[in-house]
Amino acid sequence: MAEIAKNKPHTLNKILEEQVTPPWKEAWQTFCKNKLALIGLGLVIFFLILAFLAPIIAPYGFKDQELSKRLLAPSSEHWFGTDDFGRDIFSRVLYGARISLWVGFFSVLGSAVIGTFLGIIAGYYGRWVDTIISRIFDIMLAFPSILLAIAVVAILGPSLQNALIAIAIINIPNFGRLVRSKVLSVKQEEYIMAAKAIGMGDNRILFRHILPNSMTPIIVQGTLAIATAIIEAAALGFLGLGAQAPNPEWGKMLSDSKQYLMQAPWTLFFPGLAIMLTVLGFNLMGDGLRDVLDPKMKQ
């Protein structure tokens, strides 16, 4: 009997450990129940692998030209056919994944960092600081995003780097307003009031308490914003304001091939399909993350 009583605490602890599921594991289980979110995650991973392994997978260089093979239909030699310079479209789509994902990730990263900082400052300090920052956001949002991006690139000059900067700038208000609204609710919590009562500094409150508790909407918005950034980069490339030849950016590929729509439709179909699937993947994954991380969606 004494031995059984002695082992009871260990047995109870084991049962409790089995019943309590870690938050990350619970979130992953919830995410896995969403089949569309898993499809989105699969598409994103698929294109990331293609982008990373492009030099290994691509049968030709994205700059390799052979005019005698221009506008060839898809075949065993050229899976996606060739363009008007005889370049292999399959290889260019693979390398284009690198450019589009690079622009998407880093433009969103830049806009998220700046927008989050401005949103935290506006929401926490309020008053005239909030008024000035909010009015700046309102002015930026008053312009159509693509029009504002075109204006920025027109000032800086057409290039892939300037397109990235333009896309980052136009997405700053989206993150800023989202974070501001979250901070306005978080700063009213009791633990923030207690931190102020014991004399904790503003910087410590902002970056050790408010920011970590405001990350959920930033993660969800960031995932969805990558999809938007890829479309905006393609739009700028299509207008000739993004990546310049011979870089295989998907939007630029569409622009270069639009005159061959009837003669060689594959020159537009495959880059367009790559854009659609990549954007679809990020959107589905973002919706799944929102379902997992947003408490309102859980209810």
Residue-averaged pLDDT of the chain: 83
- For position 108, what pLDDT does the model report? 93
- pTM of the full predicted structure? 0.83
The answer to whether 275 and 100 are in contact (CB under 8 A) is: yes
Share of the chain above pLDDT 90, in %: 28
- Give tens-digit pLDDT for 87-120: 999 999 999 999 999 999 999 999 999 999 999 9
Assign 2 a pLDDT band (cuts: 50, 70, 90): very low
The C-alpha angle with vertex 169 and arms to 120 and 271, in degrees rounded to 5, equals 125
Contacts of residue 169, Cβ cutoff 8 Å, sequence gap at least 6: 111, 140, 148, 149, 152
Is 80 exceeded by the pLDDT of residue 10?
Answer: no
The answer to whether 170 and 153 are in contact (CB under 8 A) is: no
Share of the chain above pLDDT 70, in %: 90
- For position 5, what pLDDT does the model report? 46
Looking at CATH, the fold of the domain delimited by 45-56+81-298 is given as MetI-like fold (1.10.3720)
- For position 4, what pLDDT does the model report? 46
- For position 184, what pLDDT does the model report? 84
Is 70 exceeded by the pLDDT of residue 21?
Answer: no
- Give tens-digit pLDDT for 176-205: 998 888 888 877 777 777 777 777 777 777
Is 70 exceeded by the pLDDT of residue 296?
Answer: no
- For position 23, what pLDDT does the model report? 62
Across 217-234, average pLDDT: 88
Assign 1 a pLDDT band (cuts: 50, 70, 90): very low
What six digits make up the tokens of 233? 């980069």
- For position 16, what pLDDT does the model report? 43
Is 60 exceeded by the pLDDT of residue 140?
Answer: yes
- For position 187, what pLDDT does the model report? 77
Residues in the chain: 299
